[in-house]
Structure 1
Amino acid sequence: MNLKIKVLLTSFIVLTGLTVMPGFVEGYTVKQGDTFWKIAQKHGVSTNELMNVNNYSSSLLYPGAKLTIPESFSEADKELIARLVHAEAKGEPYAGKVAVATVILNRVDHSNFPNTVKGVVYETYENGAIYAFSPVENGAINKSADSEAKRAVEEAIAFRGQGQGSIYFYNPETAASAWIFDQQTTVKIGNHVFAK
């Protein structure tokens, strides 16, 4: 459902007094000390999206203002991303974990990849013989994520759309496909190179 329809439906719901459907959009009243960042993190949405949906070009918020909270990722999606982050970035700095989660979100938003978290994580190449991420191939995706990986996912969601557009990451010491070295490097964090 596109953003204009969501905003129109939200306006209809508010004007008619109907209850907001869970998982769709919800209302939020700004409290003293709130920032877009804090509200976005609390609701698992992008800061940019939160500002755009509410027609804010400035980050200035006043207590009592009413905000529409856009639809966020499901808990299952967040858990899947966190498990992948845990498996791919164990032992990497926290910033590297956020960056790995950001790659997943960027792929969801990119036209060359599936438009769901599950589709991105379980994407296959070469007629389904090879998974895009080695933890899916070797089963490490099925292990529980730690709290740092979960926190990194929340931060990546809150900053969604504000990074450098990385859609790949690799360890130059272990990368098996030579084509990855031809991609434009966006940042290096720990043992990973991020690229687009």
Structure 2
Amino acid sequence: MVKLPVLRLPTFVRQHIWSWLVLATVAGLYMLAGISVAIDKSGPQVRGVAASAAVPAFRPGEAAAPPAPEPLAFKEVTPEDAVAWNASIPLSDTPNPAARPFVLAAASEADRLRAVECLTAAVYYEAAIEGADGQRAVAQVVLNRVRHPAYPSTVCGVVFEGAERRTGCQFTFTCDGALARTPHADLWAQAKRIAEEALAGKVYAPVGWSTHYHTNWVVPYWAANLVKAANVGTHIFYRWEGGWGRPPAFTGRHAGAEPAPAKMRGLTAAPAEQALAEAEAKDAAAATAAAQAQAALPQQPGAAAGAVDIAQRPIVRRYEPLRRETATAIITERAAGGADRLTASQRWMLTGEGTATTEPPLGRRAEHNEAAAQAGGR
């Protein structure tokens, strides 16, 4: 029988064998964790749909390209699994400052009414059953997007972005057929009241500068790449990572003129449609009258053709202020043509004549004071 050689471990290994076993176990666990993360680090997956791209860096003062809005795509999970998955993601512990008040600066009454109706539609179809806070939160997200460079700079533009595409819409109700349902009158009135308050400067602070939200029974692909900022009712709110989600990025201004989405036609109640039609007719009539008035006026020297003031009224005259040297030259020229060409005030300014006042003429106060002192000493 062949005897196998006895395997003898080095002395330093035998002395510290338990320490070596512990180190080997820790190393194995680290390797296992790395493999697990590589296989799946974002939860449930769906084949054929890519996750959102990384958000570019934002530096105040630089003209960097903003992140592009993501398409509407969800992971294929059951509502129950989605609720559990969403609940497992904690809220961010980074600062969540309230947004600045947004006060609508529409170009006309028709544009103001369009903005109100579009925001009302978003509040109604996205959060009609969420209660007042949930509706205010949705309105705040819309207005946050109006100010962000990644989105349109009008209310209707934000609400109906991508509505012409089946999966490109940013708000589900604009492309899933919900607009075919007639709104409930009382709930629509409540949504409109909240929309008008938001457009008048009322801020819903809990969602901060959030630009995204979804219900807790779905899991959008973009959720893993954004910062979870707040829970309001059944909605979860997010903002961009890094500088694009902080206040300095929200510098956009309302464009003034609101688009008229085709899908809003016939949606609102008859009184609102009539008010919008009347406002559009009034704006058109005012523009026509201003153009006609401007055309009938003689062109003023130095005034640009078609010049109007801040209220879009034609400028009748434009007065340019005279420099002191110019005014003196005009008065001197008139005096050379005879004293009768001077007004009483101009004559007094040059000679001191023609007035009973004891005030000296312009530029002769010292001389006047000296004469008065001599007269007093007599």
* TM-score band, normalised by shorter chain: 0.5 to 0.7
Deviates more, 1:80-89 or 1:133-142: 133-142
- The 1-side partners of 2:118 and 2:102 are apart by 22
1:168 to 192, 203, 212: 212
Amino acid at match of 2:190: E
The answer to whether 1:115 aligns with 2:158 is no
The answer to whether 1:180 aligns with 2:180 is no
CA contact (8 A) 1:108 1:115 kept: yes
- The 2-side partners of 1:71 and 1:131 are apart by 26
The answer to whether 1:102 aligns with 2:151 is no
Structure with bigger gyration radius: 2
Q: Which residue of 2 aligns with 1:80?
A: 118
Q: CA deviation at 1:71?
A: 2.7
Q: CA deviation at 1:159?
A: 3.7
| C-alpha RMSD of the superposition | 2.9
- Number of aligned pairs? 130
Give secondary structure in 1 for the equivalent of 2:230.
strand
Q: Which residue of 2 aligns with 1:133?
A: 171
- The 2-side partners of 1:128 and 1:113 are apart by 19
Q: CA deviation at 1:167?
A: 0.7
- The 2-side partners of 1:166 and 1:112 are apart by 13
Q: CA deviation at 1:74?
A: 0.7
Gaps in structure 1 of 5+ consecutive residues: 1-46, 51-69
Q: If the length of structure 1 is used for normalisation, what is the TM-score?
A: 0.57
The share of aligned pairs that are identical, in percent, is 29
Q: Which residue of 2 aligns with 1:148?
A: 190
Q: CA deviation at 1:128?
A: 7.4
Rate the CA distance shift 1:83–1:108 in 2: closer, same or farther, 3 A. same
Matches within 5 A, 1:25-104: 48=101, 71-72=105-106, 74-104=112-142
CA contact (8 A) 1:84 1:141 kept: no
- The 1-side partners of 2:123 and 2:101 are apart by 23
Say which structure is richer in strand: 1
Higher relative contact order (CA 8 A, sep 6+): 1
Amino acid at match of 1:81: L
Output one character per residue of 1:28-69: Cα deviation in whole Å (capped at 9) or x when no partner: xxxxxxxxxxxxxxxxxxx9567xxxxxxxxxxxxxxxxxxx
- The 2-side partners of 1:141 and 1:181 are apart by 30
